[in-house]
């Protein structure tokens, strides 16, 4: 009989041997929402299993993350006080600066990545300083320098600007280098689309814009060539890691960026992508665990080296064999 392709699928052993793509716990970055205050552990209704924590409540969560072998967390802060510019974001005693210090002191092995943006800190929920009804790029970059410097002084390991301002990586690189923080790398949100998949996150981070949308700074979903230009800009400006976000509706973009640039690539498996799988799983409509693993594998196979995902703990349990 002729040898067909099914030969290599005959047994679990041969399937294991010829498998091309593997997920590892070390691929994952786990996002955390830290709220200023005390005694807060609030589940996000649209994101089952994901909570907002105040710092005094976060110890068990961090311990679990470390015990599962997850090596990196991405911090989002929710401040008590918001204003037009989001000035709490560069307060040395602000929620994220305190969180960075707390985690580095108590869990020194954990890599702490801080989100750099303003939408959680501004009263209007936009990702920078408003000029009329639009976000002003130049004024926002001035404040971005302050925010990043405060995070660097608090001991952050890596920063990740998510606001989609032009030249943000260049400005941050300059500010860090000028102040003796040459060792802190930048993960650029290089290719970030204006996406409806961010819906649940905006509840989680209390960061929904009070008017309008983010289409004057985030990318149009239809554009692929523009994604290459955005990624090229981050490369030129000194990013250490590139990112495509969201992941699932943009797997073609992940592959293309991976093929074109010699930098590690992250993909952000965003809140809406998580919520959909959780919701269908809870309804008994899909096998949640298998769909989760298939989804993460698909993102990796598309070309992502790093996956930022709310599934990090669930997937780590599966990979560790103790679910």
Q: Which are the catalytic amino acids?
A: 192, 245
Q: Smallest distance from the beta carbon of 137 to ligand PBG, in angstroms?
A: 15
Q: Which parts of 96-115 interact with ligand PBG (CB under 6 A)?
A: 115
Nearer to Zn ion, 163 or 272 (CB): 163
The C-alpha angle with vertex 306 and arms to 249 and 95, in degrees rounded to 5, equals 95
Tell me the torsion sign for CA atoms 120, 124, 126, 130. Answer: negative
Determine the Cα–Cα distance for residues 93 and 77; give it in Å rounded to an integer: 12
Which value, in Å, is the radius of gyration of the alpha carbons in the chain?
Answer: 20
Q: Does 29 bind ligand PBG (CB under 6 A)?
A: no
- With contact defined as beta carbons under 8 Å apart, do 143 and 118 qualify? yes
Q: Which parts of 177-236 interact with ligand PBG (CB under 6 A)?
A: 198, 201-202, 207, 214
Q: Smallest distance from the beta carbon of 89 to Zn ion, in angstroms?
A: 10
Q: Smallest distance from the beta carbon of 99 to ligand PBG, in angstroms?
A: 16
For residue 207 the two structure tokens come to 């960061």
Site map 58..97 versus ligand PBG, x via CB under 6 A: ----------------------------------------
Q: Which does 144 bind (CB under 5 to 8 A by kind): Zn ion, ligand PBG, none?
A: none
- With contact defined as beta carbons under 8 Å apart, do 14 and 287 qualify? no
Measured in degrees and rounded to the nearest 5, phi and psi for residue 160 equal -135, 95
Q: Does 162 bind ligand PBG (CB under 6 A)?
A: yes
Whether omega before 246 lies within 30 degrees of 0, making that bond cis, reads yes
Nearer to ligand PBG, 202 or 260 (CB): 202
Of these, 50, 119, 149, 158, which contacts ligand PBG (CB under 6 A)? 119
- With contact defined as beta carbons under 8 Å apart, do 312 and 70 qualify? yes
Q: Which does 52 bind (CB under 5 to 8 A by kind): ligand PBG, Zn ion, none?
A: none
For residue 50 the two structure tokens come to 């994901």
**Residue (of 315, 293, 313) closest to 67 by Cα position:** 313
Q: Which parts of 261-300 interact with ligand PBG (CB under 6 A)?
A: 270-271
Q: Which residues bind ligand PBG (CB under 6 A)?
A: 115, 117, 119, 127, 162-163, 198, 201-202, 207, 214, 270-271
């Amino acid at each position: 009989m002729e040898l067909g392709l099914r030969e290599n699928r005959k047994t679990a052993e041969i399937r294991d041997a010829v498998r091309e793509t593997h997920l590892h716990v070390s691929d994952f970055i786990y996002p955390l929402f830290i709220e200023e205050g005390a005694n807060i552990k609030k589940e996000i209704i649209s994101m089952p299993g994901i909570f907002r924590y105040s710092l005094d409540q976060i110890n068990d969560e961090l311990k679990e993350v470390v015990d599962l072998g997850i090596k990196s967390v991405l911090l989002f802060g929710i401040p008590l006080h918001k204003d037009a510019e989001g000035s709490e974001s560069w307060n040395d005693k602000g929620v994220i600066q305190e969180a960075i210090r707390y985690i580095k002191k108590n869990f020194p092995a954990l890599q702490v990545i801080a989100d750099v943006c303003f939408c959680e800190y501004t009263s209007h929920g936009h990702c920078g300083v408003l000029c009329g009804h639009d976000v002003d790029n130049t004024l926002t970059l001035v404040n971005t320098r302050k925010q990043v410097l405060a995070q660097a002084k608090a001991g952050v390991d890596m920063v990740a600007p998510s606001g989609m301002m032009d030249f943000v990586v260049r400005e941050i690189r300059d500010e860090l280098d000028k102040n003796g923080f040459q060792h802190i790398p930048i993960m650029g949100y290089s290719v970030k689309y204006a996406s409806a998949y961010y819906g649940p996150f905006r509840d989680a981070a209390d960061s929904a814009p009070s008017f309008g949308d983010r289409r004057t700074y985030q990318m149009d979903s239809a554009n692929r060539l523009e994604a290459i230009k955005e990624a090229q800009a981050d490369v030129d400006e000194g990013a250490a890691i590139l990112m495509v976000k969201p992941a699932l509706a943009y797997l073609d973009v992940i592959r293309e960026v991976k093929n074109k640039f010699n930098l590690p690539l992250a993909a952000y498996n965003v809140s809406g992508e998580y919520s959909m799988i959780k919701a269908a799983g809870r309804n008994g409509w899909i096998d949640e665990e298998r769909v989760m693993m298939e989804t993460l594998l698909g993102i990796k196979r598309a070309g992502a080296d790093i996956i930022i995902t709310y599934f990090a703990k669930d997937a780590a349990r599966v990979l560790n064999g103790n679910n």
